[in-house]
């Protein structure tokens, strides 16, 4: 708990001094076309995206979360999350992607339009 408090204080100090703090590793959502339900394996995801930011379980499915968070004291904070849900055989079941980056919001909105 003490270590976590230290990290929070350090991040707050950096934000105050620099005005910007980032966490996670950036990735561009348009490059996720290779991610296919029932086909892409955990090994392939790891090879393409590296170590997940967070792992867990949702309704019995293993989940990996990749995130990129850019906090700004003087401008807009931008975040994005990719949560991948895996089948029991280690292939991708489904995934969710959420972003507040304007350029990526536009590209996903265009794909989702009827």
Read off the pLDDT of residues 57-76 as tens digits, 9 standing for 90 and up: 999 999 999 999 998 878 78
Q: In the CATH scheme, what is the code of domain 22-112?
A: 3.30.1450
pLDDT of residue 95 exceeding 90: yes
Count of alpha carbons within 13 angstroms of residue 59, beta-carbon side: 5
Question: Would you say the C-alpha torsion 30, 83, 40, 45 has a positive or negative sign?
Answer: positive
Higher pLDDT, 114 or 2: 2
In the predicted model, what is the mean pLDDT of residues 38-44? 98
- Pick from 45, 18, 46: nearest CA to 34: 45
Terminal CA-CA length for the chain: 48
E-state strands within 11-53: 20-24
pLDDT at 82: 96
Contact 60, 112 (CB under 8 A): no
Residue 23, pLDDT score = 86
């Amino acid at each position: 708990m003490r270590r976590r408090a230290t990290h929070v204080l350090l991040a707050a100090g950096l934000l105050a001094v620099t005005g910007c703090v980032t966490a996670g590793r950036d990735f561009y959502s348009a490059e996720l076309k290779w991610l296919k339900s029932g086909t892409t394996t955990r090994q392939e995801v790891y090879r393409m995206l590296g170590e997940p930011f967070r792992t867990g379980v949702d309704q019995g499915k293993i989940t990996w979360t990749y995130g990129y968070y850019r906090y700004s004291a003087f401008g807009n904070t931008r975040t994005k999350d990719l949560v991948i849900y895996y089948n029991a055989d280690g292939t991708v079941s489904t995934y969710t992607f959420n972003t507040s980056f304007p350029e990526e919001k536009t590209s996903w909105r265009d794909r989702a339009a009827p």
